Amino acid sequence: MATGAETEHDVAIGVLCCDTNFTKVPGHIRNRATFDFPVIYRVVDGATAERVVTQADPRLLDPFIQAAQELEARGAAAITGACGFLVIFQRQLADAVNVPLHASSLIQLPMVHRMIRSDQKVGLLVAKKPSLTRRHLAAVGAEHVPVCVVGLEDQPEFREVMLEARRPDLDADRLGREVLGQVEQLAKENPDMGALVIECTDVVPYAHQIQAHLGIPVFDIVTLTEMVHRSLTRRPFGASGTGQCPVDGGEHAVLNPGSPGGP
């Protein structure tokens, strides 16, 4: 766990990675330029998209547990995953280490549902819609969250590069068009969608374009990981850095409701 002596630039996040070799553009969790803090990567051999996404292969649990424990041993203050379908292992992975572990962006679903109106749905952008089951949602207590889902499994660039691993070279512009086309269709069919959660880490680089098109909150593995990192690197408020309340210097000062800065 992070200690008070560490700064935000010392605290590292560990990332459990699938066995893929395509280009990871900025915004992808496996591109170091995505974060302004240290990241430690651990690839799990044999964890292909076919085994993780399509099969939910239970034989991968032990290798992922071992990888998580290695990341903790290497100094990771928290651990995340580079594929949202790892949510199926959330409980077992979290139980295997002594640092916070969020295997998937889907862990945000219950929170996002509570943030929007009760008559609205949470949109989900996933790698492969037929592979997302009630079991995946139940792994994070989201089986009763009203969702509308769109997948990328039929989009040629995504399918060929991400799901089938036919080639490592990614046409980022082509993928971007596929992603925007799918979310626009989702929004058209679900005008009651109040927010979007991106399951697939591979398309997070397009989150800003998605938000510009939809005009709703967009959550993903990067927003979640940044929040977790921030929770591990809290700093005093105010410019002094003393840990004292900036109102009058007292450690236990209380703002009056009617005073400037009061509630």
Averaged pLDDT of the chain: 91
pLDDT at 248 over 60: no
pLDDT band for 247, please (50, 70, 90 cuts). low
Would the CA dihedral through 242, 248, 254, 255 be positive or negative? negative
pLDDT score recorded for residue 205:
98
Stretch 2-11: mean pLDDT: 61
User: Residues 36-48: pLDDT tens digits?
Assistant: 999 999 999 999 9
pLDDT band at 184 (very low <50, low <70, confident <90, very high): very high
pLDDT of 68: 98
Q: What is the pLDDT of residues 92-151, one digit of tens each?
A: 999 999 999 999 999 999 999 999 999 999 999 999 999 999 999 999 999 999 999 999
Q: How confident is the model at residue 242 (pLDDT cuts 50, 70, 90)?
A: low
% residues pLDDT > 70 (the chain) = 87
Global model pTM greater than 0.85: yes
What digits encode the pLDDT tens for the residues 55-99? 999 999 999 999 999 999 999 999 999 999 999 999 999 999 999
pLDDT of residue 245: 52
Which pLDDT score is estimated for 10? 86
